Amino acid sequence: MSFLKKLKDKFTGNAETEQTTEKYEKGLEKTRTSFTSKINELVAKYRKVDEDFFEELEELLLQADVGFETVMELMEELRFEVQRKNVKDTSQVQSVISEKLVEIYEAGEDQPNELNMQEDLTVILFVGVNGVGKTTTIGKLAHRFKEEGKSVVLAAGDTFRAGAIEQLDEWGKRVGVDVIKQAAGSDPAAVMYDAIRSAKSRKADVLICDTAGRLQNKVNLMNELQKVHRVIGRELPGAPHEVLLALDATTGQNALTQAQIFKEATDVTGIVLTKLDGTAKGGIVLAIRSKLNIPVKFVGLGEKMDDLQPFDPQKYVYGLFAEGLQLEEQETEQDK
């Protein structure tokens, strides 16, 4: 049985798993339409697996923003696997690619995908440039925690961007959680101080903190983030328990540059990749993992409140290659 078929069987039969798998399929539609259709064309063009086929496949993977290092590693593994399994027909290659991509992602997984939740108060600090969907993601994550029965408080730490406090406040009302805020232009560290005290007194389970996102290449913003980090740690030793960097998937390789800068300024523990449904270059997930060695913890797969999903490499790869399974099944039928 092929790897893709195994994944399909694994995700079938449980209503919740089927629902999230469907979200991945729908959310990766643009990437799949662009990427998989080209692979299908490649499979149709070459009936046998040879060096010309590998070279064109390598080019396609690079175009999908999978990342140079990951592509080189994948091509090496692929050549070996094709030889080992004696794969002759190009239609079988998609399943081998999908298996190898999951293996490559999980092999580098020395940090967990799950959030580092505490028994008492868990503090999650969000960082990222303006325009990546950070505040919206905070709102969706707050909704997710509420659905799990947790009490949540939000901290409006982006006191510089016009409308940022109001935007978070609006999300607070929408989700039904309290927002700790001060006037525009206030010291963000003072907001965090108030927020931790407030979250403790309310016996909240989770405090999610927004931060400023403009001028990510400026020293003053990075100093501000470090100061916020220090104040949180002083008020609650061990906090923040997560520092999540929001990146916009539609910016492709530019997201990697942003990640590198924020990683140097603060201890980023996980990536939240927003707008994955809006890009044809969904391979950026793999590039981020291999280049930065930071786990992708959540992905944005649509506009709805529950379209923010925990990242699952197997569902991601299945969403990327779902049509490859159809092709594989057609070939099997024809051979009967």
Binding residues: 128-135, 210-214, 274-277
Q: How many helices (H) and strands (E) does the chain have?
A: 13, 8
CA 112 – CA 297 distance, rounded (Å):
8
Sign of CA dihedral 168, 301, 272, 115: positive
For the annotated binding site for GTP, the residues are 128-135, 210-214, 274-277
Which of 15, 67, 12, 105 is closest to 316 using CA atoms?
105
Give Rg (Cα) of the chain.
22
Sign of CA dihedral 146, 214, 240, 198: negative
CA 313 – CA 5 distance, rounded (Å):
16
Residue 226 CB partners (closer than 8 Å, separation 6+): 265, 266
Alpha carbon distances (Å) from 174 to 274, 307, 312: 20, 16, 27
Which of 141, 138, 135, 125 is closest to 269 using CA atoms?
125
CA 247 – CA 111 distance, rounded (Å):
19
Token representation of residue 10: 């694994």
CA 221 – CA 157 distance, rounded (Å):
12
